[in-house]
């Protein structure tokens, strides 16, 4: 028998996907969770939901998974800022994934899609950044390009196929339930606690609690206007160094040191060495020259009045989000 209000969450073992599954279950919504690797069941222990295998690069798997689904939360994507072949491993995967899942949703008769984009798809040339500023003109990063082009493609396909599609754009998500491998944002906090950030990069992050983003996704399904985009972030960003200062105050026993300031040419040199060793070890570097070029000094401050007004989005402060996320990591030492 078909379930009324059935929601499907893709990428359901990821940080946002899993917290969204938990939120929907709490709200009494029947959930089907899709994962690429069906053996990865740990994130679903004790959760009352159906778990299915589906891969965004395989359209047929999503046509099958989306049968009987009313609302599709398109969370699954390749979320990494570094790869040996970024075009193939990040850009192509995300573009194909967007096309495959949206075409599959149309084929399965899905009514509504909440498409998880990113603040990467915003134009930062005017601050505070808002949705109406348009798309990011900076084309130096394949993940950022995949989010810009992927969102544009999602809206185009939804229009052609007659689907209601709302886009949400989360900032750096931290806090709450997490499983290895940690996402990019949570990993920054781990680096801080493990004393692995040697210098002040002048990089800022807009911290937001993942539970707030999950709530924002749900609100977008309920109240979001089709064809619209909503920023799910906080108004103010925080430098990694200020985040370290907060961690130092909260955990004096860890004896964390505040990273010292160095000239920009030295940042590039340090990042270059890290990239070289990453190519040899095939593990993502802590810092790349592109990170410095794109993000050092970039202010990630947002105007979130549209999400507040139209969705009722109301995030906890960045300081609170960081405090809770650090506590979670310290408590779950296996993640460190």
Q: Give the sheet arrangement for strand 31-35, strand by strand.
A: 50-53, 31-35, 7-9, 71-74, 112-116, 164-170, 229-232
Three-class SS state of 98: helix
Question: Residue 117: phi, psi to the nearest 5?
Answer: -95, -135
Taking residues 6-13, what's their average pLDDT? Answer: 97
CA dist 301 to 2, 89, 130, 145, 234, Å? Answer: 44, 29, 9, 20, 8
Measured CA to CA, the distance from residue 17 to residue 203 in angstroms comes to 26
Report the mean per-residue pLDDT for the chain: 95
Q: What is the rounded distance in angstroms from the CA atom of residue 93 to the CA atom of residue 241?
A: 33
Distance CA 122, CA 125 (A): 9
Name the more confident of 152 and 1. Answer: 152
* Pair of tokens at residue 190: 């781990």
Q: How far apart are CA 204 and CA 265, in angstroms?
A: 19
The domain ranges of the chain are 7-175+208-234+299-316
* Contact criterion met (CB below 8 Å) for 175 and 210: yes
> What angle do the packed helices 240-250 and 184-193 form, to 10 degrees?
50
Q: What is the mean pLDDT of residues 203-229?
A: 98
Percent of the chain with pLDDT over 90: 89
For the stretch 86-145, pLDDT in tens is 999 999 999 999 999 999 999 999 999 999 999 999 999 989 999 999 999 999 999 999
Quickly tell me which residue has 């069906």 as its tokens.
38
Give the Cα separation of 13 and 23 in Å (integer).
14
Task: Report which of residues 79 and 233 the model is more confident about.
Answer: 233
Largest separation between any pair of C-alpha atoms in the chain: 64
Tokens of 265: 């040419």
Exposed, middle or buried by CB within 10 Å (0-12, 13-18, 19+), for 216? buried
How many distinct helices (H) and strands (E) make up the chain?
12, 13
Beta strands in the chain (DSSP E): 7-9, 31-35, 50-53, 71-74, 112-116, 164-170, 172-174, 199-200, 204-205, 207-209, 229-232, 238-239, 260-261
The 10s digit of each residue's pLDDT in 25-74 is: 999 999 999 999 999 889 999 999 999 999 999 999 999 999 999 999 99
The CA distances from residue 271 to 26, 146, 199, 200, 259, in Å, are 44, 23, 11, 12, 15
- pTM comes to 0.96
Q: Which two tokens stand for residue 32?
A: 């089907």
Query: May I ask the CATH class of domain 7-175+208-234+299-316?
Result: alpha beta
Tally the C-alpha atoms within 13 A of residue 273's C-alpha that lie toward its C-beta.
5
Q: What is the per-residue pLDDT for 59?
A: 97
Q: Is the pLDDT of residue 1 over 50?
A: no
Q: What is the pLDDT of residue 2?
A: 58
The residue to which tokens 């965004």 are assigned: 56
- Which residues are 192's β-sheet partners? none
């Amino acid at each position: 028998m078909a379930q009324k209000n059935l929601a499907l969450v893709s990428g359901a073992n990821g940080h946002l996907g899993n917290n969204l599954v938990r939120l929907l279950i709490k709200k009494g919504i029947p959930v089907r969770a899709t994962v690429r690797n069906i053996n990865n069941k740990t994130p679903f222990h004790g959760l009352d939901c159906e778990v299915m295998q589906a891969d965004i690069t395989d359209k047929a798997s999503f046509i099958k998974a989306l049968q009987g689904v009313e609302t599709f939360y398109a969370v699954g994507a390749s979320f990494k800022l570094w790869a040996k072949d970024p075009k193939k491993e990040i850009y192509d995967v995300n573009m194909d994934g967007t096309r495959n899942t949206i075409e599959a949703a149309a084929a399965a008769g899905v009514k509504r899609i909440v498409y998880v984009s990113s603040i990467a798809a915003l134009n930062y040339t005017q601050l505070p950044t808002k949705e109406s500023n348009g798309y990011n003109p900076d084309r130096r990063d394949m993940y950022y390009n995949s989010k810009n082009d992927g969102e544009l493609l999602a809206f185009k396909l939804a229009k052609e196929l007659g689907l209601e599609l709302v886009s949400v754009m989360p900032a750096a998500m931290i806090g709450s339930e997490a499983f290895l491998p940690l996402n990019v944002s949570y990993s920054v906090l781990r680096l801080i606690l493990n004393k692995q950030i040697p210098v002040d990069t002048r990089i800022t992050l807009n911290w937001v609690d993942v539970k707030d983003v999950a709530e924002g996704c749900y609100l977008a399904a309920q109240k979001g206007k089709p064809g619209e985009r909503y920023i799910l972030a906080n108004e103010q960003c925080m430098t990694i160094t200020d985040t370290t200062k907060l961690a130092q105050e909260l955990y004096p026993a860890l004896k964390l040191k505040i990273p010292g300031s160095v000239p920009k040419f030295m940042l590039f040199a340090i990042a270059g060495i890290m990239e070289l060793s990453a190519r040899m070890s095939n593990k993502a570097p802590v810092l790349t020259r592109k990170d410095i070029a794109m993000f050092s000094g970039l202010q990630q401050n947002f105007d979130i009045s549209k999400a507040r007004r139209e969705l009722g989005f109301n995030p906890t402060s960045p300081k609170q989000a960081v405090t809770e996320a650090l506590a979670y990591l310290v408590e779950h030492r296996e993640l460190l």
